[in-house]
Amino acid sequence: MSAHEFPAILALSLCLLATPSWAQATGSAVNPNPKVPTGSGQLLQASDPDGLADAMRDHGYRAELTTDGQGDPRIKSATAGINFSVYFYGCTDGQECDAIQFSAGFDLETGSDAPAMNDWNKRKRFGKAYIDDENDPYLEMDLNFEGGMTRDNFRDNLVLWDSLVGDFKTHINW
């Protein structure tokens, strides 16, 4: 590089540093609203119970939208012959929820016990198990919807829930 080229290159470099990049200028590098997807598909939100119920139906599930005892949304559904509920959490006056929980209870004639639930929880990463006050086992799985969830991710979580329910039925000798 010659001595007379150096000032021109330095000036050009300084101009490039001072100029916002095309991505910054168009807003394409950063999503200014993470609750709105940058792609063509819409993200599912826990604040849209109708949308979640529709997504469940799209994947072949029964999805009856109701409310729970606190007035928050609730979806009644079933998998593998087992009824389950989808409870909504983080809600304000029954709206603007930010999480859901799949929950299935099993009314066993003789009940279950804490060691069986502890064994499940120790061996399984997803799906927590416990017994209620009548020693009936429950299986639950939480999903965080902060920022939304793609339909594909939601479907994958439904498939995981199906698998967990099937494994849990075996675990409790249902």
pTM of the model: 0.76
Helix (H, G, I), strand (E, B) or coil at 138: strand
Note whether 14 and 41 are same-domain residues. no
Mark whether 127 and 57 lie in a shared domain.
yes
What angle in degrees, to the nearest 10, is found between the helix axes of 151-171 and 114-123?
140
- As for how many domains the chain has, the answer is 2
4 and 83 belong to one structural domain? no
Whether 26 and 41 share a structural domain: no
pLDDT of 24 > 50? The answer is no
Identify whether residues 26 and 43 lie together within a single domain. no
Condensed to tens digits (0 to 9), the pLDDT of residues 134-172 reads 999 999 999 999 999 999 999 999 999 999 999 999 999
Identity of the residue numbered 3: A
Please give the residue range of the domain that contains residue 26: 1-30
